Amino acid sequence: MTNKQSHVPHDVRMQGFARRHTVQAALDWLDAQLHQLDAEDVPLRQAAGRVLVGPVASSVDIPGFDRGTMDGYAVVADCTEGATPYNRIPLKVVGNALPGSPFTGSVARGEAVRIMTGAPMPGGSDAVLPAEFVEACTGDATAAASSAPDSVVALATVSPGKNVGPRGEDIVAGTTVLESQRRLRPQDLGVMSSIGLSAARVVRRPRVRLVITGNELLPSGSAPHGFQITDANGPMLAALAERDGGIVDFPGLVRDEADAILAGLEADADVVIVSGGSSVGVEDLAPMLVARHGELVVHGIAMRPSSPTGLGTIGDRLIFLLPGNPVSALCAYDFFAGRAIRVLGGRPAQWPYRAVRGTLTRKISSPIGRLDYARVRLEDGHVEPLSVGGASVLSSTTRADGFVIVGDDSEGFPAGAGVDVWLYA
């Protein structure tokens, strides 16, 4: 398949499809157009879910000091050797160490510094004796917990390094903490902040323009009446594109008028998704407009649903012509538009769905030469087909747990066959 499609007529209405491209041929062309977008720097608060450009290395140790990991007393460990409730070893308390407020002196043998979790270890000490293994010499049960007593007794032995988090325990300076192309999670942002970063260098999010066409459509939130129906594809496609990392521009419904549709096709965007008007009917203007003002590379694909899908370009924009029927729009988005948005934004091309194995309760039939997208329910490993056709029955996708793909080289699967189910959630 080539980029130049001079054989595609400018006006395909009421002429039928010149050919039906295979799904694989359409994907091959699409993948050849895709490249990761440029990088941008964003504040950490805005970086969750974004794809990292370049590795992140730490220039500092985390923590940058030895610290106590329990509340208790910092001591010289071998001074506690032999301590038990029956062999109480006295220790002189010489100060306190708190997080952000270290003890500035040094601990000598026979001395202790009361320390809180996270506080820097005092000089000279090498272990923390937990508070439960210490008693105040005064006999006041609250003395050790309120204000530091003058002296305490050790009731247990600690070894050197016990209850101490050493410098660099979390991160050693020079270590790569996050690899390039990682999709950032909330904990990743915490790590980046801990090493002193306030921003992340990430892949720019693709700008996606939705062009939802149809004179019969009412805006989302309207009650359908008469011979008009309420837009389902706009909210669905916007949510899908945002899930895949796109920034969606959906200014409202577009009438079946050439100028209005062309304005959407030429919007300032990386990806334009047209829903409706993609087939060969009298009011299907989008294919003609793409062919005239850019390149209509694919129009008509051997798949069910979604056969009227089209792919092309206008300038630097990738254009996806999706059928107006909601299930067809969902299927075509998953196969083509979603793939493009994910790759442009630095994410994997593959579906963001989990696959599980199950056993068919009844057969799924399909002709050789056409790929089928079959909605199914899954219960206790049993896969029940709901629908292969019914492109306008969107509720079939809400009743379904996922879908099964029948490749174009297969006649389907018999009852009892093991199949992969791609789960919607």
In sign, the C-alpha dihedral spanning 148, 151, 154, 158 is positive
Residue 38: the pLDDT is 98
Q: What is the pLDDT of residue 284?
A: 80
Q: What is the pLDDT of residue 138?
A: 59
Torsion angle in degrees (nearest 10) through CA of 354, 358, 361, 367: 70
Confidence of residue 422 (pLDDT cuts 50, 70, 90): very high
In terms of Cα–Cα distance, which of 351, 322, 342 is closest to 232?
A: 322
* Position 202 pLDDT exceeds 90: yes
In this model, does residue 395 exceed pLDDT 70?
no
pLDDT grade, residue 196 (50/70/90)? Answer: very high
pLDDT digits (tens, 9 = 90+) for 312-337: 999 999 999 999 889 999 999 999 99
Sheet bearing 310-314, strands edge to edge = 247-249, 207-212, 271-275, 317-322, 310-314, 295-299
Domains of the chain: 23-38+204-344 (3.40.980.10), 53-61+170-203 (no CATH), 67-165 (2.170.190.11), 354-423 (2.40.340.10)
334 phi/psi in degrees, rounded to 5: -60, -40
The more confident residue out of 9 and 262 is 262
Structure tokens at 301: 């694909």
At residue 149, does pLDDT exceed 80? no
pLDDT in tens, 366-386: 999 999 999 999 999 999 998
Q: Which amino acid is at 196?
A: G
* Cβ atoms < 10 Å from Cβ of 1: 12
Mean predicted confidence (pLDDT) in 186-199: 98
